[in-house]
Amino acid sequence: MSTALSSAAAGADRADGFPLAEAVCPVIAHEWVNDAYKHLVIEAGHGAARARPGQFFHLLCPVIGENAPFFRRPMSLYRIDAARGRLEFLYKVVGRGTTTLATLVPGDALNVFGPLGRGFDFAGRARHIVQVARGVGLATLAPVAEAAARCGIRTTAILSARSRAHLMSVASLRAAGADVLTVTDEEGTSEVGAVERLVRRAIAERGGDFLVTCGSNRLLQMLQRVGRELGVAGEVALEQHMGCGNGMCFACVREFRTAQGGVAYRRVCWEGPVFDLQEAVSW
Protein backbone atom coordinates (compact mmCIF):
# COMPACT_ATOMS: atom_id res chain seq x y z
CA MET A 1 0.00 0.00 0.00
CA SER A 2 3.01 2.29 -0.20
CA THR A 3 1.69 3.65 -3.49
CA ALA A 4 -1.65 4.56 -1.96
CA LEU A 5 0.02 6.21 1.01
CA SER A 6 2.35 8.28 -1.12
CA SER A 7 -0.43 9.52 -3.35
CA ALA A 8 -2.50 10.24 -0.23
CA ALA A 9 0.30 12.42 1.04
CA ALA A 10 0.49 14.20 -2.29
CA GLY A 11 -3.24 14.69 -2.56
CA ALA A 12 -4.24 15.35 1.03
CA ASP A 13 -5.26 18.74 2.35
CA ARG A 14 -5.83 20.34 -1.04
CA ALA A 15 -9.00 21.95 0.23
CA ASP A 16 -8.25 25.32 -1.43
CA GLY A 17 -11.78 26.47 -2.09
CA PHE A 18 -13.29 23.17 -3.23
CA PRO A 19 -16.42 21.94 -1.41
CA LEU A 20 -14.98 18.45 -1.07
CA ALA A 21 -11.57 17.57 0.27
CA GLU A 22 -9.38 14.64 1.14
CA ALA A 23 -7.95 15.53 4.54
CA VAL A 24 -5.75 13.87 7.14
CA CYS A 25 -7.48 14.38 10.49
CA PRO A 26 -6.28 13.74 14.05
CA VAL A 27 -8.30 11.27 16.11
CA ILE A 28 -9.54 13.03 19.28
CA ALA A 29 -11.38 10.15 20.95
CA HIS A 30 -12.28 6.58 20.08
CA GLU A 31 -14.19 4.49 22.63
CA TRP A 32 -16.39 1.39 22.68
CA VAL A 33 -19.96 2.31 23.63
CA ASN A 34 -21.10 -1.32 23.98
CA ASP A 35 -19.98 -4.75 22.78
CA ALA A 36 -20.39 -3.91 19.08
CA TYR A 37 -20.20 -0.17 18.46
CA LYS A 38 -17.37 2.34 18.67
CA HIS A 39 -17.63 6.13 18.89
CA LEU A 40 -15.00 8.00 16.88
CA VAL A 41 -14.30 11.73 17.18
CA ILE A 42 -11.97 13.47 14.74
CA GLU A 43 -10.84 17.03 14.18
CA ALA A 44 -12.02 18.06 10.71
CA GLY A 45 -12.62 21.76 10.40
CA HIS A 46 -13.22 21.84 6.63
CA GLY A 47 -15.69 18.96 6.78
CA ALA A 48 -17.50 20.01 9.95
CA ALA A 49 -18.20 23.44 8.49
CA ARG A 50 -19.93 21.95 5.45
CA ALA A 51 -21.46 18.66 6.56
CA ARG A 52 -25.21 18.16 6.89
CA PRO A 53 -27.19 15.35 8.60
CA GLY A 54 -27.56 12.33 6.33
CA GLN A 55 -24.31 13.03 4.48
CA PHE A 56 -21.32 10.77 4.92
CA PHE A 57 -17.55 10.78 4.94
CA HIS A 58 -15.43 8.23 3.11
CA LEU A 59 -12.80 6.92 5.53
CA LEU A 60 -9.48 5.39 4.51
CA CYS A 61 -9.17 2.53 6.99
CA PRO A 62 -5.61 1.62 8.00
CA VAL A 63 -3.83 -1.45 6.63
CA ILE A 64 -3.01 -3.90 9.40
CA GLY A 65 -1.25 -7.12 8.44
CA GLU A 66 -3.50 -9.22 6.23
CA ASN A 67 -6.34 -6.72 6.61
CA ALA A 68 -5.80 -4.30 3.74
CA PRO A 69 -9.01 -2.48 2.87
CA PHE A 70 -8.38 -1.06 -0.63
CA PHE A 71 -11.43 1.17 -0.93
CA ARG A 72 -12.57 3.71 1.61
CA ARG A 73 -15.51 2.95 3.91
CA PRO A 74 -18.54 5.26 3.87
CA MET A 75 -19.58 6.39 7.34
CA SER A 76 -22.67 8.43 8.14
CA LEU A 77 -22.34 11.35 10.53
CA TYR A 78 -23.34 10.80 14.13
CA ARG A 79 -22.65 14.36 15.20
CA ILE A 80 -21.48 17.51 13.44
CA ASP A 81 -19.79 19.86 15.88
CA ALA A 82 -19.21 22.87 13.65
CA ALA A 83 -18.28 25.10 16.61
CA ARG A 84 -15.31 22.94 17.59
CA GLY A 85 -14.58 21.72 14.04
CA ARG A 86 -15.19 18.09 14.95
CA LEU A 87 -16.99 15.17 13.34
CA GLU A 88 -18.30 12.17 15.23
CA PHE A 89 -19.06 8.70 13.91
CA LEU A 90 -20.79 5.78 15.60
CA TYR A 91 -20.17 2.48 13.85
CA LYS A 92 -20.51 -1.25 14.27
CA VAL A 93 -17.30 -3.25 13.98
CA VAL A 94 -18.24 -5.91 11.43
CA GLY A 95 -15.85 -6.36 8.51
CA ARG A 96 -12.30 -5.81 7.30
CA GLY A 97 -12.56 -2.02 7.12
CA THR A 98 -14.22 -1.35 10.46
CA THR A 99 -11.91 -3.88 12.15
CA THR A 100 -8.81 -1.92 11.19
CA LEU A 101 -10.57 1.41 11.78
CA ALA A 102 -11.32 0.25 15.33
CA THR A 103 -7.59 0.07 16.13
CA LEU A 104 -7.05 3.85 15.82
CA VAL A 105 -6.23 5.64 19.06
CA PRO A 106 -6.30 9.36 19.94
CA GLY A 107 -3.42 11.11 18.24
CA ASP A 108 -3.48 8.81 15.21
CA ALA A 109 -4.24 10.31 11.80
CA LEU A 110 -7.25 9.30 9.72
CA ASN A 111 -7.57 10.19 6.03
CA VAL A 112 -11.17 11.27 5.34
CA PHE A 113 -12.92 12.46 2.18
CA GLY A 114 -16.13 14.44 2.26
CA PRO A 115 -18.73 15.57 3.04
CA LEU A 116 -20.42 13.42 0.41
CA GLY A 117 -23.90 12.65 -0.78
CA ARG A 118 -27.31 14.21 -0.39
CA GLY A 119 -28.46 14.70 3.20
CA PHE A 120 -31.94 14.98 4.71
CA ASP A 121 -34.17 17.65 3.24
CA PHE A 122 -36.78 18.54 5.85
CA ALA A 123 -36.42 22.31 6.11
CA GLY A 124 -39.66 23.89 4.89
CA ARG A 125 -41.28 20.47 4.47
CA ALA A 126 -41.84 19.45 8.09
CA ARG A 127 -43.12 20.81 11.37
CA HIS A 128 -42.78 17.63 13.37
CA ILE A 129 -40.41 14.85 12.31
CA VAL A 130 -41.09 11.27 13.35
CA GLN A 131 -37.83 9.37 13.08
CA VAL A 132 -37.64 5.58 13.32
CA ALA A 133 -34.14 4.18 13.73
CA ARG A 134 -32.59 0.79 14.25
CA GLY A 135 -29.04 -0.56 13.98
CA VAL A 136 -26.82 1.78 11.99
CA GLY A 137 -29.82 4.10 11.71
CA LEU A 138 -29.39 5.08 15.35
CA ALA A 139 -26.17 6.81 14.31
CA THR A 140 -27.37 8.19 10.97
CA LEU A 141 -30.53 9.78 12.40
CA ALA A 142 -28.91 11.13 15.56
CA PRO A 143 -27.94 14.53 14.07
CA VAL A 144 -31.41 15.07 12.53
CA ALA A 145 -33.09 16.27 15.74
CA GLU A 146 -30.46 18.91 16.46
CA ALA A 147 -30.58 20.27 12.91
CA ALA A 148 -34.39 20.14 12.89
CA ALA A 149 -34.59 22.08 16.16
CA ARG A 150 -32.51 24.86 14.59
CA CYS A 151 -35.21 25.16 11.89
CA GLY A 152 -37.94 25.19 14.56
CA ILE A 153 -38.97 21.61 13.79
CA ARG A 154 -39.89 19.23 16.62
CA THR A 155 -38.76 15.58 16.64
CA THR A 156 -40.22 12.40 18.01
CA ALA A 157 -37.53 9.71 17.89
CA ILE A 158 -38.51 6.05 18.05
CA LEU A 159 -35.37 4.03 18.67
CA SER A 160 -35.25 0.25 18.25
CA ALA A 161 -32.42 -2.05 19.31
CA ARG A 162 -31.55 -5.55 20.47
CA SER A 163 -31.15 -4.45 24.08
CA ARG A 164 -31.10 -1.27 26.14
CA ALA A 165 -27.29 -1.29 25.91
CA HIS A 166 -27.60 -0.91 22.15
CA LEU A 167 -29.84 2.20 22.32
CA MET A 168 -27.00 4.61 21.89
CA SER A 169 -28.29 8.07 21.05
CA VAL A 170 -31.00 8.55 23.69
CA ALA A 171 -29.17 11.18 25.74
CA SER A 172 -27.98 13.24 22.76
CA LEU A 173 -31.45 13.20 21.17
CA ARG A 174 -33.07 14.33 24.44
CA ALA A 175 -30.41 17.02 24.74
CA ALA A 176 -31.42 18.19 21.26
CA GLY A 177 -35.01 18.50 22.47
CA ALA A 178 -36.49 15.36 20.93
CA ASP A 179 -39.16 13.22 22.54
CA VAL A 180 -37.52 9.79 22.68
CA LEU A 181 -39.43 6.49 22.71
CA THR A 182 -37.43 3.28 22.97
CA VAL A 183 -38.25 -0.32 22.07
CA THR A 184 -36.02 -3.40 22.39
CA ASP A 185 -36.04 -7.06 21.37
CA GLU A 186 -34.99 -7.90 24.92
CA GLU A 187 -38.15 -6.34 26.36
CA GLY A 188 -40.36 -7.70 23.57
CA THR A 189 -41.46 -4.18 22.59
CA SER A 190 -39.76 -3.87 19.20
CA GLU A 191 -41.96 -5.91 16.86
CA VAL A 192 -43.07 -4.01 13.77
CA GLY A 193 -46.74 -3.83 14.83
CA ALA A 194 -45.83 -2.17 18.11
CA VAL A 195 -43.59 0.36 16.37
CA GLU A 196 -46.35 1.05 13.86
CA ARG A 197 -48.73 1.93 16.71
CA LEU A 198 -46.15 4.39 18.10
CA VAL A 199 -45.74 5.96 14.66
CA ARG A 200 -49.48 6.31 14.12
CA ARG A 201 -49.89 7.85 17.56
CA ALA A 202 -47.05 10.32 16.90
CA ILE A 203 -48.79 11.38 13.70
CA ALA A 204 -52.32 11.51 15.14
CA GLU A 205 -51.62 12.95 18.59
CA ARG A 206 -48.37 14.89 18.27
CA GLY A 207 -48.76 16.32 14.81
CA GLY A 208 -46.05 14.23 13.15
CA ASP A 209 -45.97 15.24 9.48
CA PHE A 210 -42.64 13.92 8.13
CA LEU A 211 -41.14 10.42 8.47
CA VAL A 212 -37.43 9.64 8.42
CA THR A 213 -35.90 6.22 8.84
CA CYS A 214 -32.70 4.26 8.53
CA GLY A 215 -31.38 0.83 9.37
CA SER A 216 -34.25 -1.64 9.02
CA ASN A 217 -35.93 -3.06 5.95
CA ARG A 218 -39.06 -4.14 7.86
CA LEU A 219 -39.46 -0.72 9.46
CA LEU A 220 -38.97 0.91 6.03
CA GLN A 221 -41.77 -1.22 4.56
CA MET A 222 -44.05 -0.35 7.48
CA LEU A 223 -43.34 3.39 7.14
CA GLN A 224 -43.91 3.28 3.37
CA ARG A 225 -47.32 1.71 4.03
CA VAL A 226 -48.26 4.15 6.80
CA GLY A 227 -46.94 7.10 4.79
CA ARG A 228 -48.96 6.10 1.71
CA GLU A 229 -52.10 5.48 3.73
CA LEU A 230 -51.97 8.76 5.66
CA GLY A 231 -50.36 10.89 2.96
CA VAL A 232 -47.29 11.65 5.08
CA ALA A 233 -44.07 12.33 3.19
CA GLY A 234 -40.68 11.17 4.33
CA GLU A 235 -37.11 10.17 3.60
CA VAL A 236 -34.95 7.11 4.10
CA ALA A 237 -31.17 6.91 4.40
CA LEU A 238 -29.81 3.82 2.67
CA GLU A 239 -26.56 1.91 2.83
CA GLN A 240 -24.58 0.16 0.14
CA HIS A 241 -21.01 -0.97 -0.38
CA MET A 242 -19.23 1.86 -2.17
CA GLY A 243 -16.27 2.39 -4.41
CA CYS A 244 -15.54 6.08 -4.90
CA GLY A 245 -18.37 7.60 -2.84
CA ASN A 246 -18.43 10.51 -5.29
CA GLY A 247 -20.70 9.39 -8.13
CA MET A 248 -17.94 8.22 -10.46
CA CYS A 249 -17.72 4.42 -10.29
CA PHE A 250 -21.42 3.42 -10.23
CA ALA A 251 -20.67 0.48 -7.91
CA CYS A 252 -23.14 1.43 -5.14
CA VAL A 253 -26.43 1.34 -7.05
CA ARG A 254 -29.72 0.10 -5.61
CA GLU A 255 -33.17 -0.23 -7.17
CA PHE A 256 -35.67 2.64 -7.01
CA ARG A 257 -39.20 3.16 -8.26
CA THR A 258 -39.44 5.66 -11.10
CA ALA A 259 -42.21 8.16 -11.80
CA GLN A 260 -43.09 6.08 -14.88
CA GLY A 261 -43.90 3.08 -12.70
CA GLY A 262 -40.73 1.18 -13.50
CA VAL A 263 -37.58 0.44 -11.54
CA ALA A 264 -34.15 2.00 -12.13
CA TYR A 265 -30.73 1.88 -10.53
CA ARG A 266 -29.50 4.94 -8.67
CA ARG A 267 -26.19 5.60 -6.95
CA VAL A 268 -26.53 5.61 -3.17
CA CYS A 269 -23.47 7.88 -2.89
CA TRP A 270 -24.63 10.48 -5.40
CA GLU A 271 -28.43 10.56 -5.70
CA GLY A 272 -28.50 9.56 -1.98
CA PRO A 273 -27.79 8.23 0.57
CA VAL A 274 -31.04 9.98 1.57
CA PHE A 275 -33.93 9.17 -0.78
CA ASP A 276 -37.64 9.76 -0.93
CA LEU A 277 -39.34 7.28 1.39
CA GLN A 278 -41.68 5.91 -1.28
CA GLU A 279 -39.11 5.63 -4.09
CA ALA A 280 -36.84 3.25 -2.20
CA VAL A 281 -37.35 -0.40 -3.09
CA SER A 282 -37.15 -2.47 0.08
CA TRP A 283 -34.83 -5.46 0.16
Return the range that interacts with other proteins (CB under 8 A); candidates 65-73, 85-93, 141-149, 154-162. Answer: 65-73
What are the start-end ranges of the H helices in 136-267? Answer: 137-140, 142-150, 170-175, 192-206, 217-230
d(CA 20, CA 111): 13
CB of residue 12 to other proteins, shortest distance in Å: 8
d(CA 130, CA 125): 13
The smaller minimum CB distance to other proteins, of residues 100 and 131, is found at 100
Of the candidate residues 27, 28, 52, 71, the single one contacting other proteins (CB under 8 A): 71
The smaller minimum CB distance to other proteins, of residues 106 and 247, is found at 247
The smaller minimum CB distance to other proteins, of residues 22 and 146, is found at 22
Of the candidate residues 49, 68, 123, 151, the single one contacting other proteins (CB under 8 A): 68
Pairing of strands 210-214, 234-237: parallel
Q: Is 282 in the site for other proteins (CB under 8 A)?
A: no
Give the footprint of other proteins on residues 8-37 (CB under 8 A). 8-12, 14, 18-22
d(CA 9, CA 220): 41
What single string gives the DSSP state of each residue in 21-75?
EEEEEEEEEEEESSSSEEEEEEE-HHHHHH--TT-EEEEEPPPBTTB---S-EEE
DSSP summary character for residue 118: B
Query: How many residues in the shown chain lie near other proteins by CB under 8 A?
Result: 39
Q: Which residues bind other proteins (CB under 8 A)?
A: 1, 3-4, 6-12, 14, 18-22, 60, 68-72, 113, 240-241, 243-244, 246-254, 264-265, 270
